[in-house]
Chain A
Amino acid sequence: MKDFQDYKNVWIFAEQRDLELMGVAKELLGEGYRLSRGLSGDSKVCAVIMGYGVSNLIDEAYAYGADIVYTMDHPLLKNYTTDAYAKVLSEAIKSYKPEIVLFGATHIGRDLAPRVAARLNTGLTADCTRLDVNTSDYMDYLEKNTTASLNGLDRNDTSTMLKQTRPAFGGNLMATIITPNSRPQMSTVRPGVMAKLERDDSHKGIHINVAVNLEDDDIRVKVRDVIIEAKKIVSLTDAKIICSGGRGVGSKEGFKLMEEFAETVGGMVGASRGAVDSGWIDQSRQVGQTGTTVKPKIYFACGISGAIQHLAGMQESDIIIAINKDPDCPMMKIADYALEGDLKQVIPEIIEQWKSN
């Protein structure tokens, strides 16, 4: 066994874009806080904020749980580039020796983290959805949520190796990955799965400004422009949220309500063949065996009975919410949340409460 005593603390790459902390950075601070309290001694959770003119973000990082905030502030860090960020971050990791480094699995995190891990000759686990240092917590998780056997695991085990759990093979398989022989232990973490701490503006920590050693020649690409596009979901398969309506929607008029619903929750309108055949909505929106197969984060099935041909196109959705008058129809049986009621009353209520949230 190698001796890793020098390595301490949990680092969060607190990604900012246009001087705003990304949501996943706050989630990682929450997760990092939880992990750091399970590690030995006085382990801390530290936010690493890179960019140009980032000092305004320090208090926010404290508010979401950071004990220490490292800033690397430099004109050449204004736009993200692999070269500049990898150099500055690798050097900082070498000198401060964190035990764990977490990145959001964003297009930037997944560009930067592998490069840094390769430079430091350490392991990197991709797109994690669960992290544990405590063996007993990890065993609870396995028992409750998975088919894994607990063979070889011991609830009294006090070692605090990071157990990094992630989906692979298109989500068909889960794996827990460890990094036993090198430090830091590094992971990218899927946005939207870890819990933020409640924002506490009275929480303060320590700020350390890290000197940045960068020159123009270090950066071998030129970012000419960064273009932000209003998110326009073009196809059902890309939609994170789908609000599908069936024959229970009742009319063309009813699909106007579905449109408003989708707009409010940031989703896209889908439909059953029952609704398409009634002429209330275009065939391109049909979900199912003879329509599109979808796997959104949330699938709202409103007034859809759940015929097998419809289920074939949506049953892999992360969360299925059924709204139906009939508590015994198949859709209500397979739903994660089955709301019994008249959609004409329930949907306006969701719209109103969603907006006020």
Chain B
Amino acid sequence: MRIIVCVKQVPDTNEIKINPETGTLIRDGVPSILNPDDANALEAALAIKDSCPDTTTVTAITMGPPQAKEMLKDCIAMGADEAILLSDRALGGSDTWATSNALASGIKQIGSYDLIFAGRQAIDGDTAQVGPQIAEKLNLPQVTYVRSLKLNDDCLTVERALENGYEIIDVKMPCLLTTIKELNTPRYKTVQGIMDSESADISVWNADDIGVDKHTVGLKASPTNVFKSFTPKPKGAGVYVSGGSPKEKVQILLSALEEKHVI
């Protein structure tokens, strides 16, 4: 069985600072990490490989700049068999539609596959759109927000989280699943894995290698454009409620909250 895991290198958004003058991100010194949901996706793939090691291949794929190789090495150190980097200036600035065109072409180039994992959401772009859009481009069934999964022959039984519960869904392979942190706890890199990853041969493919139509990738082809980016104004002074009886004060508070649609 061949499992493909889509992984993205992201800045650790807990560490990001904003330049208040320009409203832009200060990325200097901010560590790049494997997107947290993608670590759960990789773990899910590796758990399947643990149960049938001889017949399972796990391939990690990313689209990104050359530095993303470092993250792919981490994936190999965790246990992935191989890793592919899609990297080309022509792919830069892609929105989710264009990103999914590139990744779907890359996946087609890999050839056959039974199962594709993506994280639910990347912590930088924060859209949660790339997984479903890859599934659409590959004409695969999808299940998003997967919080548990069981493999039986060519069928998966998965739990899909809802806001107030979950669904139990059967889905035949090949299919695409997006994972959330409740699914599992990602393993650490092993010493052997780290050694393997140093010598691992990471394939780097450009736009021609994956045969993607260049009118469907990159900034220019993207249907969405970032029109403006900015930061919220720092909070102003709060509202003081001091006069009147407790009853009146609470009335003032609750009607202010209602007016702002907080409650």
Contact = CB atoms under 8 A, between A and B. Distances in A.
Contacts of A178: 224-225, 227
Interface in B242-263: 242, 246-247, 249-251, 253-254, 256-257, 261-263
A192 interface: yes
Contacts of B162: 107-108, 226, 228
B184 interface: no
Interface string A307-320: 00000000000111
B88 interface: no
A37 interface: no
Contact of B135 (A107, A110, A115, A338): A115
B229 A174 contact: yes
A113 B96 CA distance: 12
A227 B136 contact: no
A202 interface: no
A173 B231 contact: yes
Nearest to B223: A123
B20 interface: yes
Interface residues of B, number: 76
B163 interface: yes
Interface stretch (B58-66, B79-87, B119-127): B119-127
Contact of A170 (B14, B95, B161, B257): B14
A22 B194 CA distance: 48
A117 B136 CA distance: 10
Nearest to A221: B171
Contacts of B169: 221-224
Contact of B225 (A180, A222, A321): A180
Nearest to A297: B262
Contact of A222 (B170, B253, B261): B170
Nearest to B142: A82
B201 to A, nearest CB: 33
10 contacts: A117-B97, A124-B224, A169-B13, A170-B123, A176-B227, A177-B227, A222-B169, A318-B262, A319-B262, A350-B253
Interface string B233-247: 101001111100011
Contact of A119 (B136, B160, B228): B136
A185 B130 CA distance: 18
A211 interface: no
Interface in B123-162: 123-133, 135-137, 141-145, 157, 160-162
A172 interface: yes
A319 B246 CA distance: 20
A145 B223 contact: no
Tell me the dominant secondary structure on chain B's binding face: mixed
Given A111-B132, A172-B231, A338-B238, A321 B172 contact: no
Interface of B: 11, 13-14, 16, 18, 20, 23, 25, 95-97, 100, 123-133, 135-137, 141-145, 157, 160-172, 175, 222-233, 235, 238-242, 246-247, 249-251, 253-254, 256-257, 261-263
A147 B133 contact: no
B232 A145 contact: yes
Contact of B229 (A173, A345, A354): A173
A329 interface: no
Contact of B227 (A86, A163, A231, A335): A163
Contacts of B227: 163, 175-178
A94 interface: no
A148 B23 contact: yes
Contact of B97 (A121, A146, A337): A121
A79 B167 CA distance: 10
B133 A170 contact: no
B233 A145 contact: yes
Contacts of A353: 247, 250-251, 254
B223 A179 contact: yes
A67 interface: no
Interface in A139-161: 142, 144-148
A124 B162 CA distance: 22
B49 to A, nearest CB: 24
A114 interface: yes
A298 B262 contact: yes
Given A114-B129, A125-B224, A172-B13, A193 B168 contact: no
A177 B225 contact: yes
A341 interface: yes
B143 to A, nearest CB: 7
